[in-house]
Structure formats: structure tokens, C-alpha cells
Amino acid sequence: MGTSAAGFDVQGVNSERIAQRLEELARFGRSEASGGGWFRGFGTEAELRAREWLRDLWHKVLGLEVRMDTAANLWGTMPGREALPALVLGSHHDTVPNGGQFDGALGLVLATEVVQRLVEEGYRLRHPVQVVSFTAEEPNPFQVSTLGSRAAAGVLRVEDVRKAVHIRTGVSLRDALQAAGGDLDRLDRARLDPAGVSAYLECHIEQGKRLWSRGMPLGVVTAITGIYREEVVVEGEANHAGTTLMADRRDALCAAAELVLGFEEAVVRGGGEEIVGTIGQLEVRPNAPNIVPGCVSLILEVRSPDREGTAKVLRAFDECVRRVEAGRRVQVRRVRLLDQEASWMDPAVIGALERAAAELGEPYMLLSSMAGHDATHMARITRAGMLFVPSVGGKSHCPEEESRMEDIAKAGDALLRALLILDEE
Ligand code: GLV
Ligand code: MN
Ligand code: MN
Ligand code: MN
């Protein structure tokens, strides 16, 4: 792979080992029952076992000093030669329900591989290098996504989540976090001191098809989209499905159906290729074939590179809500769950990733991320950057999610090289 300016002749990453580690991590949460996808949602048995696997790998195989913070973020540290702030490589090991093998997992396996290459060479960087797996990156039934990175960035406080419970089981977030090794009452202690971090780098699958459709092996991320999420609760009236005449009904699901379509129209009319909106979760109560649905709760999200895009969609949706409330005699309650601004990646980290790709002779593309990532929060306290690997067919958050080993190996080499470049600054 050549000689870095520090004079260290570092070989590229070991792609067989990367493939093997991806397989090892894929043992946790694979479910034939749900179409062959993975589920390592925060707090599940599979998620806890994946943590154990990572902890052992970092501690026993790589010899890193491993610790868990109060947000249950798992950290591994390789000391540096000098008293400098750390270069951090991270991602997440949880998944969406029936998700794929690479979202989050790839970033951790490549971060691990990069550090292992340094360990094998007996090469210590000037800066300490830290690997991190952030807790609960994905949305979960506790309604708190990117829990770990928000706590690390100091933008999630104990008060925000003190009362959070699993919407189906009623288990408290406090108990779930404790089972993972965290401590909700001391969540504030997970906050990082910005002076202790030099930069944050995350490698991830693109999850869209911009790289794949251009045959581009690498993507360097410039910005991460903003995400707005809210719960919409539609209260109608449960009643007998046989005896309640059509004119007498206050059917919450029919009202919700109008809201779903009205929301889609609001997003489409909101305009802009990079503004998208989804209603991906619906709970119907009581959810029985012979009861007129009395209550429906749905979760909607809007993603937009700027606040005005989100605001425009929400204004159009407000009108739709008023129309549906009046037309169907239902009440609609709305609770904001997330209002996360878009973030910018750091020019110096972007530059290091671009230089790494160029030195490797690999073409790359600069692009924004339309998926959310822990890097969005890390960008608020340090210099952050992301490297994308093409997703075959642009598929993600589904079992078919895939990336090619040849692209993964290139990303591993670029990540290692970018780390060395940042270390030389
Ligand atoms: C995270 O996976 C997201 O929803 O973008
Ligand atoms: Mn995801
Ligand atoms: Mn992810
Ligand atoms: Mn994500």
C-alpha cells in the first residue's frame, strides 16, 4: 500500500479476515423465520451477544483496553506515542428489524481490521486510536435512536429519556440500558470531552444507489441529511364491526389511511429530490377483525438537507390533519420524537479521505448521506468524516442488503490510509 509520510510501510487490509469477521458478526440475530434477515435491535439477546463478541475481539484478539461508558457505548483504545487527542473509528452493531448484514456491522469490522493491521505491524500512531460501537443507533421501541452517539456528543440528557419505556413490553429504558452495561441515571457521564477527540471517522454502506449506479467504488460524504420524526396518534372509537352502521363509525384506521396518503402528497409537493418522507410504523388498536379500530398510532419521518424543506412538508401535513379530523370525527395527537438538523462533515477529514482514495488510485465520488448516522452527532463535537461503500442495487434495511468484497477491501485500505494521514497532521 506504500509508505506514509511518517515513513511507515503499511500493507493493505486483510480481506479474508474481513469476510470472516462479517460472517462471525452475522451469527447474531439472523432469523430464517423472518425472511433470512437480521435483527439485533437494542436490548435484544442477539444485540447483547454481539456486544460480547466485539468486546472479546477488541480485548482478547487486538489487546485493546476496553471500557463501556454509561450509555453502554463500547470503547477500545490503542495508546498513542504522544499525549494527543484520540482518532476515533466507529459505527454501530444494532440493526433494524429484518435488516441486512452490513449496516453498522461493516463499519465496525473495518475499524477493527484497521486497528488490527497497526497492532500486527507493532506500529503505534502519534494519536491514541479508539474504536467505538455506539448504542442503539437505529430507531427502536424505546423511541430513542442514536442514543449512544447523542449521549457522547452531549445532546441527549437524562431528562430526555428518564421515562422512556418499550412501547410493547413496558420494559424501561433504564433497565434495558443497565442490561447492556450502561447507567441511565448517569448518562451525562458518557459525554465526551471535545478536547480529547481529534477526529471521528465512520465507514458505512451507502444504502442508496448513487455509487452503485455509477460503478464508483468509494464515496466520501460531505453532509448528512436532517431527520424529523413524530408519533401521530389517531383517536377514533372502537365498536362492534357487525352492528355499527357505516354512518356511525369513527374508524381510526380509515382516518390514518387518509393521513398516510395526505402525508405522501405533502412530501411530493414539498419538492426536491433530497426531501423524502415515510410512514413506516403503524400500531392498530385493538387490532381485531371484528372491532372497528379505535386508535392508531403511526410514526412519520421527514428527511431534508435543510429545515425549510421539513417545515414546508409539515405545514402541508398540518392542513391534511385538520381536514381528516373534521371529516372523520377523530382526534389527532402529535408528539415530536426527533428533530435533528443536517450536519456537515469536516473539510480536513474529507480531504484526508479524498487524498487516501487518490493515493490508492481509486475513483471516488463526493456525496451527501440520505441516511442518518452516529457521525451526525459526533460532527457537533469534533471533526467528522464518513466513507461510503456501494450497496449492491442500492438496497438496505432489508435482508438483500449487500456490498462486494472488492469494494469493502478498497474502503478498508482507504480508511487505514486516511487514519495515517490524519495522524501526521
Ligand atoms: C438509520 O439507519 C437511518 O434511519 O438512516
Ligand atoms: Mn440503519
Ligand atoms: Mn447504520
Ligand atoms: Mn443508520
What is the distance between the alpha carbons of residues 53 and 25, in angstroms, rounded to a whole number? Answer: 8
Q: Which of 91, 93, 98, 145 to mutate to test the pocket of ligand 1 (most atoms within 8 A of CB)?
A: 145
ipTM value, please give it.
Answer: 0.90
pLDDT at 314: 97
3-class DSSP assignment, residue 89: strand
**Looking at the domain that runs over 226-340, which CATH code has it been given?**
3.30.70.360
Please give the class, per CATH, of domain 15-225+342-424. alpha beta
Name all residues whose Cβ lies below 6 A of ligand 1. Answer: 138, 371-372
User: How many CA atoms, within 13 angstroms, populate the side-chain half-sphere of residue 247?
Assistant: 0
| Residue 68 identity | M
pTM, full prediction: 0.94
- Ligand-binding annotation for 175, yes or no, is no
3-state helix, strand, coil in the chain (%, to 5): 40, 25, 35
Query: Given the CA of residue 397, which atom of ligand 1 is nearest to it?
Result: 2
Closest Cα to atom 1 of ligand 1 = 372
Could you state, in order of their start, the residue ranges of all structural domains in the chain?
A: 15-225+342-424, 226-340
Cα distances (Å, whole numbers) of residue 58 to 51, 62, 191: 11, 5, 22
Query: By C-alpha distance, which of 259, 267, 370 is closest to 313?
Result: 267
Query: By C-alpha distance, which of 159, 138, 163 is closest to 43?
Result: 138
Q: Which of 92, 94, 138 to mutate to test the pocket of ligand 1 (most atoms within 8 A of CB)?
A: 138
Question: Per-residue pLDDT tens for 270-312?
Answer: 878 889 999 999 999 999 999 999 999 999 999 999 999 999 9
Which helix (H) or strand (E) segment is 366 a member of? strand 364-369
Distance (angstroms) between ligand 2 centre and the Cα of 74 equals 18
pLDDT at 207: 98
Distance (angstroms) between ligand 1 centre and the Cα of 419 equals 25
pLDDT at 8: 56
> Exposed/middle/buried for 243, CB within 10 Å: 0-12, 13-18, 19+?
exposed
pLDDT at 9: 61
pLDDT at 272: 82
pLDDT at 34: 65
pLDDT at 31: 85
pLDDT at 1: 46
pLDDT at 5: 47
What is the distance between the alpha carbons of residues 363 and 140, in angstroms, rounded to a whole number? Answer: 36
pLDDT at 3: 47
What is the distance between the alpha carbons of residues 422 and 425, in angstroms, rounded to a whole number? Answer: 6
Distance (angstroms) between ligand 3 centre and the Cα of 206 equals 9
- Ligand-binding annotation for 189, yes or no, is no
- Ligand-binding annotation for 373, yes or no, is no
- Ligand-binding annotation for 138, yes or no, is yes
Query: By C-alpha distance, which of 278, 337, 313 is closest to 150?
Result: 337
| Positions in the chain short of pLDDT 50 | 1-3, 5
